């Protein structure tokens, strides 16, 4: 049973504006941080519950071979687990800060996750609608989702961090 802080998110049903939103990830790789995004995703808020999904096949990186590898069994395994999902269980707001506890599912593994971020005020947009924004992030251990690929550096240290930051920049538009 979800427990909802009724003050946390605006009431009603809200649908993500996909053009002006993004979902991505960042992970330390070798000497820097590597970023990717998912171009096909969905998110909504209804009755104070945030739901989100992203299609694994829509992963966007700058090399098609890498994109294919990320979709393969070494990583997300798009054939067997085509979607990443998130469902909130509790949402708490303190000013413009939000803390969201929920369940995230990657590669068929479901784990609890705490997401933190910011919420914008609800505004009227130029198209006669209402919208608000969420800027969210969480850090997950990819090992717990069965994604353990690595490649050792000459030092013996792993090239790819097991800790991955997942980010969501969402603009949510009120549904009438």
CB of 1 to other proteins, least distance (A): 31
- With beta carbons less than 8 A apart as the criterion, state whether 135 and 169 touch: yes
Cβ-based neighbours of 21, under 8 Å, separated by 6 or more: 41, 43, 168, 169, 170, 171
Report in angstroms the alpha-carbon separations of 73 from 25, 69, 127. Answer: 18, 8, 43
Whether the CA torsion 19, 25, 30, 32 is positive or negative: it is positive
User: What is the smallest separation between the CB atom of 66 and other proteins, expressed in angstroms?
Assistant: 10
Q: Does the footprint of other proteins cover residue 54 (CB under 8 A)?
A: no
Candidate list 4, 22, 34, 55; residue touching other proteins; CB under 8 A: 55
74 near other proteins, rule: CB under 8 A: yes
| Binding window for other proteins (CB under 8 A); candidates: 1-9, 60-68, 90-98, 106-114 | 60-68
- Torsion of Cα atoms, 119 then 120 then 121 then 122, to 10°: -90
Query: 39 or 92, CB closer to other proteins?
Result: 39
The burial of 137, by beta-carbon neighbours within 10 Å (0-12 exposed, 13-18 middle, 19 or more buried), is given as: middle
Stretch that binds other proteins, among 52-60, 103-111, 112-120, 158-166 (CB under 8 A): 52-60
Binders of other proteins in range 28-47 (CB under 8 A): 39-40
The answer to whether 18 contacts other proteins (rule: CB under 8 A) is no
The CB density around residue 95, as the number of other CB atoms within 10 Å, is 7
Residue 156, interface with other proteins (CB under 8 A)? no
Q: Which residues bind other proteins (CB under 8 A)?
A: 39-40, 55-58, 60, 64-65, 67-69, 71-74, 78-80, 82, 149
């Amino acid at each position: 049973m979800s427990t909802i802080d009724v003050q946390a998110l605006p009431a009603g049903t809200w649908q993500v504006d996909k053009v002006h939103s993004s979902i991505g990830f960042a992970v330390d790789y070798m000497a820097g941080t590597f970023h990717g995004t998912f171009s096909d995703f969905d998110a909504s808020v209804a009755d104070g519950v945030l739901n989100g999904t992203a299609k694994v096949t829509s992963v966007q990186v700058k090399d098609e071979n890498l994109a294919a590898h990320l979709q393969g069994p070494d990583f997300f395994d798009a054939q067997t687990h085509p979607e990443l999902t998130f469902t909130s269980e509790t949402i708490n707001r303190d000013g413009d800060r939000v803390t969201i506890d929920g369940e995230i599912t990657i590669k068929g593994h479901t784990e609890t996750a705490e997401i933190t971020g910011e919420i914008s005020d609800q505004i009227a947009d130029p198209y006669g609608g209402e919208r608000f924004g969420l800027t969210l992030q969480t850090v997950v251990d990819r090992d717990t989702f069965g994604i353990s690929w690595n490649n050792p550096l000459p030092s013996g240290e792993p090239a790819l961090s097991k800790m991955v930051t997942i980010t969501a920049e969402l603009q949510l538009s009120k549904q009438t």
